[in-house]
Homo-oligomer: A and B are copies of this chain.
């Protein structure tokens, strides 16, 4: 489905892949190898597609767009490399996480290297204001992830707090894709606001659907283990909703599994059942649906065009994707 959505930007996305391959080569072979392994395969390229479609929608054209899209994907991948350290993630995009193959040290440094590649790409292709916007988004991403860590063992982490975390860790970079598109087109403020509103909301929906898929998808499709959030003690919305609705005994079961370094399969299954019983997944899916509705509403200020249609389809894809 992503393929169909991306028809209007097929050439640009081809250029993005080429730029990523050519501009992330290091004089240190190991750096190139880890970058190639991490960025080379299986990414959905949602952020570059979002940026390119939004930029074209408001009339931006030219080769620099592909460079910026490539830079955004590099930043996202850098943060995945740092996340893999952070989350003790076992799988990423269907392959072993770089961290497990090369170790924490190399993941962190290759992330740093990739970040600098992104910086060069974006600074050379766009005005300084564009880079500022993106750098601020990266800062919010790190802050969102830090907030998430501080709330990891907090039984009182509620939906509002979780939404604040998601705004940082995921929606900030999505929103920056919208801002960047507007900056590249020198779009007037109403169109910039619309693109930012659209991008922010699909970012929120994207993360919530990620949380849903962790409870509902199968490992083969998702490229990471189902229930892995639960196993790794990561509190996401399906569990928060269930916890708020659960009775005292169930609440205690949830609290216990969150504190356990390595919960048993029985414990995991029991809590999965509690989430199921209290409709944690459905509630999260409904909220994602609301965000997508809000995203679409922001596109109403634009007249119909193939790019607008593609962005509408992109928001549907986010709800429907199975991985």
A contact residues vs B (CB 8 Å cutoff): 26-31, 79, 82, 85-87, 104-106, 108-110, 112-113, 115-117, 119-120, 123-124, 128, 131-132, 135-136, 138-139, 141-143, 145-147, 149-150
Please classify the interface of chain A as helix (H, G, I), strand (E, B), loop, or mixed, using the class held by over half of its residues. helix
Known: A30-B146, A119-B135. 8 other contacts (CB 8 A): A28-B150, A82-B108, A85-B104, A85-B105, A85-B108, A86-B105, A116-B142, A124-B132
Determine the chain B residues whose CB is within 8 A of the CB of A132 once the complex forms. 120, 123-124
A104→B123 CA distance, assembly (Å):
30
A112 contacts B26, C-beta separation under 8 Å: no
Q: So how many copies of this chain end up in the complex?
A: 2
Interface pair B142/A112, CB less than 8 Å apart: yes
Q: List residues of chain B with CB within 8 A of the CB of A79.
A: 112
Least CB distance, A166 to chain B, in whole angstroms = 14
Cα A29 to Cα B136 in complex, Å, equals 18
Q: Check A113/B30 contact, CB under 8 A, given A85-B104, A104-B104, A105-B86.
A: no
State the Cβ distance, A143 to closest chain B Cβ, in Å: 5
- Nearest-neighbor residue (CB-CB) of A124 within chain B: B132
Closest to A86 in B: B105
Residues of chain B within 8 A of A30, CB atoms compared: 146-147, 149-150
User: Whose C-beta in chain B lies nearest to the C-beta of A135?
Assistant: B119
